[in-house]
Amino acid sequence: MKAIYSVEKTIMQRVREIPPEKATEVLDFIEFISFRNSHHLMLQAQQDVVSKYWDDPKLDIYNA
The predicted pLDDT at position 34 comes to 87
Query: What pTM does this model have?
Result: 0.51
The predicted pLDDT at position 50 comes to 79
Radius of gyration, alpha carbons of the chain? 21
Task: Please check whether residue 26 is in contact with residue 15, taking contact to mean a CB–CB distance below 8 angstroms.
Answer: yes
State the number of CA atoms in the 13 A half-sphere of 17 facing the CB.
6
The Cα–Cα gap between 64 and 50 comes to: 19
Q: Give 48-53 contacts, CB < 8 A, sequence gap 24+.
A: none
What pLDDT digit, counting tens, does each position of 8-64 carry?
Answer: 999 999 999 999 999 999 999 999 998 887 877 788 878 877 777 777 777 767 665
